[in-house]
Chains A and B, each alone.
Chain A
Amino acid sequence: MSEQETRQLKGRARLPAGGARAATLAGIGRRPGGQNRRNQLFLALLYFAVSIALLGLALILIDAIVKGSGRLSLDIIRNSPSSDGSRAGFAQPILGTLWLIGLMIVMVVPVGLGAALYLEEYADRDRWHNRLIELNVQNLAAVPAIVYGILGLAFIVRGPLGLGFILFTGSITLALLVLPMVIIASREAIRAVPPSIREGSLALGATQWQTISRQVVPAAVPGILTGVILAVSRAIGEAAPLLLLGAATFVTFNPEPFSDTGWTALPVQIFNYARRPQDAFQNAAAAGIIVMLVVLLLMNSFAIWLRNRFEQNW
């Protein structure tokens, strides 16, 4: 390198070096008071945002407890819906929800797990149809619930399937609604099983299905179960699609899932009580909400416990 070139380089480096030095000095030197105050104000705003969100959650719970605690006794789950608000309970709606969810689980778990296994273990991700399925699942997870209600009304209650206004149509619709959630959660659980497990099994001469059914699925069960529990807790609280499927009636006898004698579900009954102006019905609705939230809280705690208890670090 000639001397001239070195000098040129030095000249070129002088400007950025000077800039960096000024920046460093400004940083090390005392910050102007204004900036400090601005930092504190910013942090205060962040605290405020978090508190507002937490306050909202607390108010939802406190409001339900204040209004519903007077009605909290076994009667709230033993009594039938009634036109007397002070005695109105949720017995049949709770039974209806149990039927809905039970039948839904029977349908959604095998299909969801099957789809997840196909996408993770078999599908070639470069093929266009597999990419389409993936995009499709992601989109379905965010389609509004009421659109599923329209699908159920047009296709399952009436139209091609024509099952009529029976509880089972509600189960099918809810199964379609939570299917993408189950697929996405199961896929994540399956993906977390390291490839070495599969390779070991295949190397010992197991077929692909033997590998999947005896190694991959058992290892992924906690994650899959967590996903199913979260999907179930979403389905328990879902009222909008059920309104379209005939679940708005006043039912005082135990539901039969496959006959059209009328049916209802817990969140729909809460909605029915909540829109009556009388205090007695408002309190009954609040008590129903407490029952629903307690069930959801128990299920979610179980899901978290399951995840922590069985989570494996490979």
Chain B
Amino acid sequence: MPSLAPASPRYAEKAIKAALGLCAALSVLTTTLIVLSLFGPTLRFFGEAPIVEFFTKTRWFPTQGFFGVLPLLAGSLNVVGWALIFAIPVGLGAAIYLSEYAPRRVRKIIKPTLEVLAGVPTVAIGFFGISFVVPFLRDIWPGSFLGGPPGFFMAGGAALCIGLMIVPIISSISEDAMSAVPRGMREGAYALGASKMRVATRVVFPAALSGIVASIVLGVSRAVGETMIVLMVAGNNPKITLNPVDAIQAMTAYIGVTATGDIATGTVEYDTVFAVGALLFTITLAMNLISIRMVRKYREVYE
């Protein structure tokens, strides 16, 4: 009886499979290397500056021996918080319009245009921040509102730019989630006499909620990790404040300013870069995992 097994053992096929598997494993290796390269120096840093001090002290001035990370954390929170206040309504408004209201022709133009915004390099948005947004805000600032008028570096200016950067992320993922809501649910609501606005806000929006939350979480993750905009627009002034008028220093900006070519290895200052980087990586990792899980949830339900 002829056998179905191949006539030769096909070693080459197996070698190819192994080589391709190795390529896939490289991505896991990248994560491993990121973790190793971040946490090695971070542990060394915590030998010099206790971890409790890192998370509780309110002053960040590494060259003077002050290692409280809270000002950097507050700086990131300040920018990201204001960015979200701008980006969530704009992004969700655009998503609802594109998914529920826009005629096909309009949608085919607006959607790719918004995606162009997502492809603009952040150094260009940062330039827009210092050459247009901040001067504009300084011009129109109402007197001493919020302790203003702002200086040349301000958290609020960076927040507007970052908000603009994450609008396409929020609108595009949310729109995908809303479009995935089955037509039957909309038609059922229309049959009961609901208006278009009711269908959008009471049927489609809740049904797509996990995708919408995922888009926002991913937007936060991008915003926290953005470097060039905060470096150029928000300044380098570690300070615990949520006032958009103030100059602040975000975590990423500290890394970008400190870890330029001429930093000496083995100093505590060098290690601070890794400690702040490890904190940043942990925050974004948590956000990414939440958003991946949320996206899976809506895909499971409707696709």
Contact = CB atoms under 8 A, between A and B. Distances in A.
B121 A300 contact: no
Given A118-B21, A122-B17, A63 B132 contact: yes
Given A111-B23, A151-B33, A154-B37, A244 B124 contact: no
Nearest to A293: B124
A267 B121 contact: yes
Contacts, number: 282
A276 B285 CA distance: 35
Q: Which of B26, B38, B284 has the most CB of A within 10 A?
A: B26
Interface in B80-117: 89-94, 96-98, 101, 110, 112-114, 116-117
B1 interface: no
A180 B24 CA distance: 10
A50 B132 contact: no
B94 A49 contact: yes
B244 interface: no
B297 interface: no
Contacts of B132: 59, 63
A282 interface: yes
A19 B37 CA distance: 64
A26 B227 CA distance: 54
Given A67-B131, A270-B127, A293-B120, A56 B197 contact: no
A57 B61 CA distance: 37
Contact of A147 (B21, B24, B34, B126): B34
B90 A49 contact: yes
A26 B130 contact: no
Interface stretch (B52-60, B177-185, B259-267): B259-267
Interface stretch (A27-35, A192-200, A220-228): A27-35
Contact of A146 (B89, B120, B232, B256): B256
B122 A64 contact: no
Nearest to B225: A144
Interface stretch (A3-11, A69-77, A80-88, A135-143): A135-143
A239 B93 CA distance: 31
B37 to A, nearest CB: 4
Contacts of B224: 144
A207 B225 contact: no
A143 B25 CA distance: 18
A96 to B, nearest CB: 14
B84 to A, nearest CB: 14
A24 B193 contact: yes
B33 A155 contact: yes
B150 to A, nearest CB: 16
Contacts of A139: 31, 285, 288-289, 292
Nearest to B26: A111
B222 to A, nearest CB: 7
B220 to A, nearest CB: 11
Q: Which of A54, A63, A144 has the most CB of B within 10 A?
A: A144
A63 B195 contact: no
Contacts of B26: 111, 115, 179
Give the interface residue-count category, chain A. Answer: 35 or more
Contacts of B210: none
A244 B260 contact: yes
A45 B256 CA distance: 38
Interface residues of B, number: 94
Nearest to A20: B192
A275 interface: yes
Contacts of A167: none
Given A122-B21, A240-B228, A244-B256, A150 B273 contact: yes
Contacts of B168: 53
A285 B126 CA distance: 11
B252 A54 contact: no
Given A144-B284, A151-B33, A137 B27 contact: yes
Contact of B20 (A47, A122, A140): A122
Contacts of A60: 117, 120, 124-125, 128, 164
B237 to A, nearest CB: 15
A103 interface: no
Nearest to A282: B131
A91 B228 CA distance: 22
A165 interface: yes
Given A115-B20, A239-B122, A64 B259 contact: no
A207 to B, nearest CB: 6
Given A45-B93, A143-B225, A144-B252, A138 B292 contact: yes
Contacts of B34: 143, 147-148, 150-151
Contacts of B287: 142
Given A20-B192, A54-B114, 10 more contacts: A50-B110, A53-B94, A54-B110, A56-B164, A115-B23, A117-B20, A133-B27, A142-B284, A244-B260, A274-B123
What are the 8 tightest A-B residue pairs by CB atom distance, in nearest-first order? A27-B193, A237-B121, A144-B225, A49-B93, A114-B23, A240-B227, A154-B37, A118-B20
Interface of A: 20, 23-24, 26-28, 31, 35, 38-39, 42-43, 45-50, 52-54, 56-57, 59-60, 63-64, 67, 110-115, 117-119, 121-123, 132-133, 135-140, 142-151, 153-155, 158-159, 165, 176, 179-180, 183, 207-209, 230, 233-234, 236-240, 243-246, 248-249, 267, 270-271, 274-275, 282, 285-286, 289, 292-293, 296-297, 300, 304
9 contacts: A42-B200, A48-B93, A53-B168, A150-B34, A151-B38, A236-B121, A239-B122, A243-B259, A248-B260
